[in-house]
Every structure is written in structure tokens, then in C-alpha cells.
Structure 1
Amino acid sequence: MNLDPSDDEAIEKASENRTATCQDSDSKPAVKKKRKQKKISDVLQKSAPKPGVPEDLQKLLTQHFGENRSVIELEELQLSDSCFLPANDLTHSFSSYLKEICPKWAKLRRTHKEKKSVVMLVLCSSALRSLELIKSMTAFKGDCRVLKLFAKHIKIKEQMNMLEKGVFHIGVGTPGRVKALVEQDALCLNSTKYMILDWNWRDQKLRRMMDIPEIKKETIDLLEKSVIKLCRDGSVKLGLF
């Protein structure tokens, strides 16, 4: 699910509200009543699920860089509609979504022979979510090798060695670890055709990946430094699941 921006504002305003203080007849110090917060779950219950769309990502980039970049620099961060794959309309399983956006996967899988690279990158908010997505793509991936690209229980040196010695087709992990591998030249994105953001999923606190400050920053950094140019050149397509 994806909250409408107006719902996000409602949540913020509700959390800031304070109940009026009152004084008794003896003019005792004002006593603050316990404030009643409007939870994100309350707003979600009243709003229909709204899937993420490319405009949401564009708006996020503009908001993040708007105050610190020139007009020309902001234009260089803009992505045309042709840079995006169809977004998930919330009716898909992960496998069915991947089948829709990548109908020629079997051929891509067979022809991919390069080390230190993957054909498809999937970014999500945590190691546990990465494992869930890997399990749920069974009907799609076929006979290919999937690499776990997160930090929990896996040292970066181990991932670097695996990328250097073997051929992998799909990488699933967190933006922070993917960014670190790219910066150390252990993962090359020149062979990557698809980058999927796990945009709509919410964790136990009902946060999307872009609602978590650290994940949001690492994702935007990765997009700015390594992905946006590839998208503008036409070699990488972005998808919001």
C-alpha cells in the first residue's frame, strides 16, 4: 500500500496536536491532558491502497535535492517515462510481476555470462524482506543463481569473492550493501537491465522502504551516483513493486 501525500500530512499534524490545558478552581498549575495521537494505521484503514507510480519517485528526488541543486542539476536527475517499467498495481505476486515486466527472462538468463554483475537488482528495506522476496520469486527465476546482497550474517568480503568468481543473475538486498559493493567496484551495473524497488511493502511499523530515513538516503545516493545515468542512457529500467 502507498499513502497519499495528504494522508502523510494528516499523520504529521495529528502527532503534533496538543490538548488544551485546564486549571482547577484553586488555580493549580496547568495539567496537560494525555494527547490522543492519530496512528498511521488509522489513516490506512480509511484510505484505499494506492500503488506507487514513477511520479512518486520523481517527487522524492526533487524534494531531496531541491534546496541544494541548481535547475540544471535537477534536470539531470529527471527520468522520462521510458526509464520505468509498469508499476505494480497491487494485484501481483512478486513472481507474476517479474514475469510481466520481463517476459524474455529465460533468454536473458541463458546469455548472461559476466562476473561481478547481475541482470536484475531488487532493493528492499531489510535482510528479512530480502529473504521473503527470494522465496517468493521461485515461479519466475527458473534455473538461475540469486545472490543475497545484505549485511546481516554476510560479510562484504564474502560477497565480493562470490561476485568475482561466479556468475549470478539476480541480486536481492538492501541499498546500503549494494551501494558499498558498487563503490568498491565489486559489483558492476553495466550488465544490469532491471532494478526493482520494493516500494509498496510495509513493515510491522507500517513503514515503506522510503519511510525509513537511512534506507531512503542510501537508495537515493545509489540512484544518483550509479543508476540514474544508466536509466537516462536506456540501459537500466526501474520498476516499483
Structure 2
Amino acid sequence: MARERPTKAPKRKKPRGHNATKTLSSRDQIKKKKTRKISNPNFIPLGKNQTLVAEEKKRRKDEKMAEDGGESDALLSTSPAAEQLRFFLHCYQTGTKTKLSPLELDVYSDSCVVELTEGVDQNVDYFSDHVKESFGTSWKEILCEGKLSEGVVNAGSPALLVISTSALRTLELLRGLKPFTRECRPVKLFAKHMKVEEQATLLKGRVNIACGTPSRIKKLIDMEALSLSCLQVVVLDMQKDAKAFSLFTLPQVRTEFWDLYKSHLEQKVLQGDSRICFYGAVSKKEIKKALQPVEH
């Protein structure tokens, strides 16, 4: 007996009207979405509007600058000596986590710091001019004299000591001192690519200028290779690095600097033999905080 063939179900027609979009291919759906974004000028994407965020940041920055008098940084060394000294002593107590007594504070005088002329940029190009100013009319005799004098000018005893945060910054500052270094070879005192024994050998001759980082300077003084007997000016480079850290704020360097200052520089400053010279811009916020009246 022959088998019956199964009857085929009739084909359904594709729906029309508002349900037609359900059968669109994925490519057609993407195309339609893109067309919708382009054709609708009022379309707002999800998430934060980056334009509004940028405008808000700019507004806050402008407000902050207005509070600071239009600038976020200031040249501290052009301020009166009394203000510079208050800033230094505030950073000293903060950095060493100590509180100086009124008697200890009174030992410091305004003559401990150098006041530089206003209106001249404090960068590498003008560094030599500012150094001349800090030494006065006798700068050439002090910074360019190349002879040793027993009991007066000892070996390895610079008149100018420049302290910075890094080896790279040290080289930049030395480049700004070329008017002096043509006649007197300075010494570079940092650890990067230089052995301490090599630096000690260089310090056996006449040295007028020494420039380096706190840790290596202290090490050479402890070794008695570097002498402070002729030291007149200590330049503290306040230049900020790429992360906005400076000599007083970069954690490890800050600790090394205050160790150097307390162990070797403080007595020179208190006795009036050496003076401190700030070089470069300092945050106005930090200056304002340091100059606030002390609450008893």
C-alpha cells in the first residue's frame, strides 16, 4: 500500500507595518541607529558631558587664581627678608616635625636670607645674574679666584653651594653659571653616574662653586672631602618637578635636605657666615600658610 505524502504548511507572509522592524537584518538595524544619531541634532549620549566637565574645571581654576591674585606661584626671594625667614622656619618645623621655642626662633635674624631684585625671571638663563647680586660687588674676586691660600682658602671649600632635587636639575643650574665656570671649574655633587671617590678627588683642588643633591653633599662633608669654611651663600632651588614636588615637598629629598641642614648648615647660618637664597617660584598657598599668625 503506497504511503501518503505529507502536505506542506502554507508559507506565512512577512508582517507589514509597525512589526516590520523585527525582521530587519542586524546590518539594517545598525544602519538605522547610526542614521538616527546623525539625523537627531538634539541627541545627547549617556554619561558625563565632557564639554561641561572641561568648562567646570576651567571655572574652578580661574576662581582659585583669582583668590591667589591672578597667579598660583610667586618668587619668594623678592619678598621682604622677614617673610622669607618665617617661611623657611615654618618649613623647617614641618619638615623635621619639631617645634622651635621662642628662644630658638629669636636666634635667627633677617640677615640670614638674601633678597633678590623684582622683575627678573628666576630661571637658568638669569641664574648667574642673581648669584652676582647675592654676593655683591666682590662676586668676581670670590667666585673666580683660582688660588689656594693656606688657612684662608682651603681645598674643597666652595663659596657658593647650590642644592637641588636631582642630578638633571643640577646640570641645568650649572649651565646657568657658565660666566663663572669658564674661569673656575665647579664640582657636581650627585650620585647618578658619579662615584663618591671621584668627587672626593675633585675636591682636593680649589673649588668656588659646588652644586648637587642633599644626600651626596652630606656624604662628602661627613667624609671631610667637602669643607664649608668659605661658604657664603646657600642657594635652595625651589624648581618643581613633573609631579609638582620641590626641595621642601619631595618626600625622600626633603628628609635628606633637613638632615643636611641640621647637621652642617644651621650653625653656619646662625653665626652669620652663610646666607640662604631661595631660587624659583613657590606656591602662594604654601607661602600664605607659612605666614599665618601662630596660635598660642
Q: Do they fold alike, i.e. is TM over 0.5?
A: yes
Structure 1: gaps of 5 or more residues = 1-35
Q: Which stretch of structure 1 is more off in the superposition, 219-228 or 55-64?
A: 55-64
**Structure 1 segments of 4 or more deviating over 6 A?**
none
Query: In the TM superposition, what is the alpha-carbon distance from 1:237 to its structure 2 partner?
Result: 1.3
Query: In the TM superposition, what is the alpha-carbon distance from 1:80 to its structure 2 partner?
Result: 1.3
Alignment partners' CA distance in 2, 1:231 and 1:107:
22
Give the equivalent residue in structure 2 for 1:22.
none
Give the equivalent residue in structure 2 for 1:96.
129
Secondary structure (helix, strand or coil) at the match of 2:165 reads coil
Query: In the TM superposition, what is the alpha-carbon distance from 1:233 to its structure 2 partner?
Result: 1.0
Q: In structure 1, which of residues 195, 200, 203 is the aligned counterpart of residue 234 of structure 2? A: 195
Q: In structure 1, which of residues 127, 130, 133 is the aligned counterpart of residue 170 of structure 2? A: 130
Structure 2: gaps of 5 or more residues = 1-52, 77-83, 149-153, 280-296
Alignment partners' CA distance in 2, 1:203 and 1:79:
30
Contact 1:94/1:137 (8 A) holds in 2: yes
Q: In structure 2, which of residues 246, 265, 270 is the aligned counterpart of residue 232 of structure 1? A: 270
Query: In the TM superposition, what is the alpha-carbon distance from 1:55 to its structure 2 partner?
Result: 2.4
Give the equivalent residue in structure 2 for 1:154.
194
Give the equivalent residue in structure 1 for 2:253.
215
The one-letter code of the counterpart of 1:106 is K
Deviations 1:9-67 (CA, angstroms, capped at 9, x unpaired) = xxxxxxxxxxxxxxxxxxxxxxxxxxx9x9xxx59983412123332211111223454
Q: Percent identity?
A: 28
The one-letter code of the counterpart of 2:263 is K
Q: What is the number of residues matched between the two proteins?
A: 200
Contact 1:77/1:228 (8 A) holds in 2: no
Give the equivalent residue in structure 1 for 2:5.
none
Alignment partners' CA distance in 2, 1:140 and 1:44:
44
Query: In the TM superposition, what is the alpha-carbon distance from 1:79 to its structure 2 partner?
Result: 2.5
Alignment of 1:1-241 (within 5 A): 46=65, 47=68, 48=71, 49-52=73-76, 53-65=84-96, 67=98, 71=101, 75=104, 79-87=108-116, 89=118, 91-92=121-122, 93-103=126-136, 104-108=138-142, 109-110=144-145, 113=148, 114-164=154-204, 166-199=205-238, 201-241=239-279
Contact 2:96/2:258 (8 A) holds in 1: no
Alignment partners' CA distance in 2, 1:43 and 1:175:
36
Contact 2:163/2:212 (8 A) holds in 1: yes
Alignment partners' CA distance in 2, 1:105 and 1:202:
28
Contact 2:116/2:133 (8 A) holds in 1: no
Alignment partners' CA distance in 1, 2:100 and 2:276:
25
Secondary structure (helix, strand or coil) at the match of 2:261 reads helix
Over 3 Å counting, the alpha-carbon distance change for 1:43 and 1:115 in structure 2 is farther
Alignment partners' CA distance in 1, 2:194 and 2:63:
35
Over 3 Å counting, the alpha-carbon distance change for 1:88 and 1:227 in structure 2 is farther
Q: Which has the higher Rg, Structure 1 or Structure 2?
A: 2
Contact 1:61/1:77 (8 A) holds in 2: no
RMSD: 2.8
Over 3 Å counting, the alpha-carbon distance change for 1:168 and 1:99 in structure 2 is same
Q: TM-score, normalised by structure 1?
A: 0.73
Contact 1:195/1:238 (8 A) holds in 2: yes
Secondary structure (helix, strand or coil) at the match of 2:276 reads strand
Contact 1:58/1:79 (8 A) holds in 2: no
Over 3 Å counting, the alpha-carbon distance change for 1:215 and 1:88 in structure 2 is farther
Q: Which stretch of structure 1 is more off in the superposition, 126-135 or 210-219?
A: 210-219
